[in-house]
Amino acid sequence: MKLPTGIFLVSSLVGAAVATPLAPVPYNISLVESNKLRRVLHRKALYEHAKEFQSFADSTSVRNRVAGSIGHNLTVDYIYDTLVATGYYNVEKQPFTYVFSEGNTSFSALSTKYASEYMTYSPSTGGSTLTAQLVKVANVGCDQSDYPELTGKIALISRGICQFGPYVPVASISGANGTALVAAIEAGPVQGSLLVNSTTEVRHTNNVLATTKGGDQNNIVMSGGHTDSVAAGPGINDNGSGSIGNLEIALQLTKWLVKNAVRFGFWSAEEFGLIGSRYYVENLPEAERAKVALYLNLDMIASPNFGYFVYDGDGSTFNITGPPGSGAIEHLLQDYFKEVGLPTLPSNSDGRSDYAPFMEAGIPIGAIFTGAEEVKTAEQAALWGGQVGVAFDSQYHKAGDDINNLNQGAWIQNTKAAAHVIATYARSTETIPKRSLPKRAKRDNKHAISGAYGSEPVHIA
């Protein structure tokens, strides 16, 4: 998942279970090699897992795999049971709770009903539609001084980088619509009407962790991705594609030995603010954190109108450098894609996926991604083909993110790229510098929201 940007409307009127292996560890004589591991990865196997994930969503009336739901619990059990059966891994479920929130919104102004999205953790408007004057908030609303007198009004706020919550009722509209409303407000008073219906509850869910029994347990190569969907749909690209890619690599890796231990992380509640991955990192003792040599993130690796994006670990494009070693992971991926004839572009570390907690903890990170709600440019289409002016994934966070929403060619290529990274570092991490991690303060993770909805946001407050 990558949480989109948007415009916000806010009303001012109101412990781990460890598995017992079912089979002995298959100690083969040969050390894993990238080309051999990649050779046994096939799109048919990926698709078979996807059919299972789809069936888990379809088994419920809501057709989704939201963290802690029946569809998601079936997903977690499937991953857990499949990996336990290999006997190759120490597999555990890591339980935690999080605050679940869902809802719907309606917003209108100037005799026009605007498309709007529910903002996670927003309270409701009490079953009533609130009608009041729209007021533009200066800057991005991070400081008290940004706000005019708002009592009895609806505030229009451009999405920035301020911390989320606590909330009054809030919704999100597109940046284009927000800009048009700002222009209207500057011309004269504008009335708006906002309705927010919401449900909030505490839910129980699980991460799944699978660590090879073999290999150096003091030098662990990690790869991960989230297993949950948004409420709107099955989430087969976001992020069935990434979690399935990791699962199939994990299954095929059992054919070989590893010099360095490999750990696969299957995170829950990513769609509510990277909660599962952050829970894992923040509850990992510092001595154990230091054993994690690197982390590779797979999120949305089969977008229909795909691009091949590699995280800008060395900061050469976006001037945000990852922890030392991140550049080496980036270059390994770039070199691999170049070798197989696939051009790549760098991806910004915007903190919208599960690499963020690892990055904050000083662990070298890498990531591959095929695009979300962003629109493909002519230059990008010249590199990869596809449709100009169409989103990389037009079904992103929608009901249509189902088994038909996968580009299987991009999916297998990205899975093989991830396998190349895992196999390479399972043999040697010599290009990744050793590190001693400083102590760091724990973050307040009460709600752990890290994104918004829309396109170049505005906030209604």
> Is 270 among the catalytic positions?
yes
For residue 454, CA distances in Å to 66, 176, 367 come to 20, 10, 24
Instruction: Work out the pLDDT band at 408, boundaries 50, 70, 90.
Output: very high
Instruction: Work out the pLDDT band at 21, boundaries 50, 70, 90.
Output: very low
**CA distance linking residue 325 with residue 430, whole number of Å:** 10
Where is pLDDT greater, at 167 or 117? 117
Instruction: State yes or no: pLDDT of 451 exceeds 50.
Output: no
When the pLDDT of each residue in the chain is averaged and rounded to a whole number, the result is 89
For residue 373, CA distances in Å to 3, 73, 396, 399, 413 come to 9, 27, 6, 14, 21
3-class DSSP state of 316: coil
pLDDT above 90 coverage of the chain, percent: 79
Instruction: State yes or no: pLDDT of 399 exceeds 80.
Output: yes
74-88, 112-126, 267-281, 294-308: lowest mean pLDDT where?
112-126
**CA distance linking residue 74 with residue 68, whole number of Å:** 10
DSSP for residue 84: H
Question: Given 92, 117, 248, 270, which residue is catalytic?
Answer: 270
Residues 48-75 have a mean pLDDT of: 99
Instruction: State yes or no: pLDDT of 25 exceeds 90.
Output: no
**CA distance linking residue 195 with residue 180, whole number of Å:** 20
Concatenated DSSP letters for 278-301?
HHHHHTS-HHHHTTEEEEEEE-S-
> Which phi and psi (to 5°) does residue 257 adopt?
-90, 160
The pLDDT assigned to 159 comes to 73
Instruction: State yes or no: pLDDT of 27 exceeds 70.
Output: no
Residues 154-183 have a mean pLDDT of: 84
Instruction: Work out the pLDDT band at 348, boundaries 50, 70, 90.
Output: very high
Instruction: State yes or no: pLDDT of 456 exceeds 80.
Output: no
Instruction: State yes or no: pLDDT of 3 exceeds 90.
Output: no
Closest residue by Cα to residue 220 from 20, 364, 416: 364
Instruction: State yes or no: pLDDT of 77 exceeds 90.
Output: yes
Domains of the chain: 7-12+101-200+450-460 (3.50.30.30), 17-99+202-427 (3.40.630.10)
**CA distance linking residue 207 with residue 243, whole number of Å:** 12
Residues 169-194 have a mean pLDDT of: 94
DSSP for residue 104: E
The pLDDT assigned to 19 comes to 46
Instruction: Work out the pLDDT band at 327, boundaries 50, 70, 90.
Output: very high
Instruction: Work out the pLDDT band at 195, boundaries 50, 70, 90.
Output: very high
Where is pLDDT greater, at 26 or 180? 180
The pLDDT assigned to 164 comes to 59
Instruction: Work out the pLDDT band at 5, boundaries 50, 70, 90.
Output: very low
Residues 319-325 have a mean pLDDT of: 96
The pLDDT assigned to 75 comes to 99
The pLDDT assigned to 140 comes to 64
3-class DSSP state of 380: helix
Instruction: State yes or no: pLDDT of 15 exceeds 80.
Output: no
**CA distance linking residue 310 with residue 330, whole number of Å:** 7
Where is pLDDT greater, at 5 or 37? 37
Residues 363-378 have a mean pLDDT of: 98
pLDDT above 70 coverage of the chain, percent: 85
End-to-end CA distance of the chain: 26
